[in-house]
Amino acid sequence: MSRLLSVSLALPAATVAVTVPVAAHAQARSISASDKAQGAEANPQLLAEFGGKYDGPQAAYVEQVGKRVAVQSGLSNAQGDFTVALLNSPVENAFAIPGGYVYVTRQLLALMNSEAELASVMGHEVGHVAARHSTGRQRTAGIGSILAGVVGAVAGNSAIGQLAGAGARSAAQLYTLKYGRDQEYAADALGVRYIAAAGYNPYAAADMLEQLGASTSLTARLSGQQTGAPTWASTHPNSRERVMRARQLAQQTGKAAGQMTQDTAFLRRLDGLLYDDDPRQGVVTGQTFVHPVMRLRFTAPVGYRIANGSDAVTVAGTGGQAQFKAAAATSDLPGFVAQQFRSLGANAAPTAQAGRANGLDYAYSTVRASANGQAVDATVLAYRFPSATYFWTIVTPAGRGIGPFTPLIESVAPITAQEAARVRGKKLRIMTVKAGDTIDSLSRQMAYTDAQRDRFVTLNGLDDDATLRPGMLVKVVTEA
């Protein structure tokens, strides 16, 4: 799968003819007033849930490429009708919504090895919108954006959970759900059409799918799970068959794969890109989460995984899930816990119990709830910090209460200003291979304590036994 030498030749649009299923393409229509209103409403929510806009120099470049591809969709001939955002998120993801909004995360951008691959992701996502694939998605009643994913996962349905009352899904939950196989194939076909018309090599779509598959597999293996964390590849089902089909679509354009050459201009643009967690939003190292701005840390039990979001941190494992969030400071912790339950639709909660850990006072209550017909325990536990109230919303199988998460609860602790100053993030660095450099020697520069070689190979799209040539560019993740 040696993809470090990636096809990056721009193709003259006038010479390209792409075969696209008529049914899929026929559904495309111009951006309506309703589409614009729907997109404008969802856009602020999506930005908030995916870390906001990334402010690095790559943002303008991504916008340029995205608009170049988006106008090929037939939704609009004016680039100004599209809004393309690079998101400050450590999760590999991309999506588009009605109204001309297209998004890609910096973590997914870092995985790419050519501008054509970036264009292929943009084209695929715009294809979903052009084919109206999101119109059938229902804003199903649930417990709101706070617990919908948490309860649902415990009950065996990660899409939705129910306690009591009703609430709309968050924008991210609604617009990043899985598509069906036929919808994926239709978006693949449209995406190949768009990137070819925009002047990109259509074979990049298959290359990108293969790269995503390798990254998702590595993530799953490192986390000890059968499937990886929420990524573009998991919300857009991947398979060898789909990669092969994408190559067939490229062949139908009549263009040969072209000479293999490295897209050095693209790779150099990635230099300095923030990688993994943004320190301003907290950093996960192994089983420990540290937030230098909130001045706190906690450690997840062995076997549990930490997922860091822009406004919440989730800890999940076989014993349930817990979500950590911040609220305004209060001196009335029991009252805060009761209010959180009311916001979730619970009519009443038991009198809060008190506790203390690492010099912090906390209070919590647990109620029995229902999730998709199954009984679960839902707990709200809040800590008193000088400048804020930090709280867990915990869901476990009925009868377990906070039991599985007791070590996590007791690990929450403040950190000093000196400890906060030592929290550093990671950046992507583009290095030139020198004589004598090997995969092993360069892998040792990766800022990880585990799987350095596997991470390096996957990030650069290399075969495990690839030989590096002097003068080649490679991506290495270093301390910021």
What tens digit of pLDDT does each residue of 83-98 get? 999 999 998 999 999 9
Pairwise CA distance, residues 469 & 237, whole Å: 34
Rounded to 10°, the helix 204-223/115-130 angle is 90
Q: What is the token pair recorded at 458? A: 């996957």
Closest alpha carbon to 106 in 53, 155, 142: 53
Strand spans (E) along 170-234: none
Q: Note the Cα 45 to chain centre separation in Å.
A: 15
Whole-angstrom CA distances from 174 to 35, 83, 145, 168 are: 15, 19, 10, 9
DSSP, collapsed to helix, strand or coil, labels residue 287 as: coil
Residue 393 near residue 327 (C-beta atoms within 8 A): no
Residue 316 near residue 325 (C-beta atoms within 8 A): no
Burial class (CB in 10 A: 0-12, 13-18, 19+), 319: middle
Strand spans (E) along 1-124: 83-87, 94-97, 101-105
- What pLDDT is recorded for position 12? 30
- What pLDDT is recorded for position 366? 93
Closest alpha carbon to 450 in 108, 219, 291: 219
Strand spans (E) along 13-159: 83-87, 94-97, 101-105
Output phi, psi for 465, to 5 deg. Answer: -105, 20
- What pLDDT is recorded for position 323? 93
- What pLDDT is recorded for position 173? 52
- What pLDDT is recorded for position 325? 94
Single-letter amino acid code for the residue at 445: Q
| Residue 429 neighbours by CB distance under 10 Å | 18
DSSP, collapsed to helix, strand or coil, labels residue 10 as: coil
- What pLDDT is recorded for position 6? 29
Closest alpha carbon to 352 in 395, 306, 383, 307: 383
- CB < 8 Å & 24+ apart, contacts of 288-291: 289/313, 290/415, 290/419, 290/423, 291/423
Burial class (CB in 10 A: 0-12, 13-18, 19+), 442: buried
Single-letter amino acid code for the residue at 480: A
Q: Note the Cα 289 to chain centre separation in Å.
A: 18
pLDDT beneath 50, residues of the chain: 1-27, 137-169, 226-234
Pairwise CA distance, residues 303 & 313, whole Å: 16
Pairwise CA distance, residues 104 & 127, whole Å: 15
- What pLDDT is recorded for position 236? 52
Which pTM value belongs to this model?
Answer: 0.78
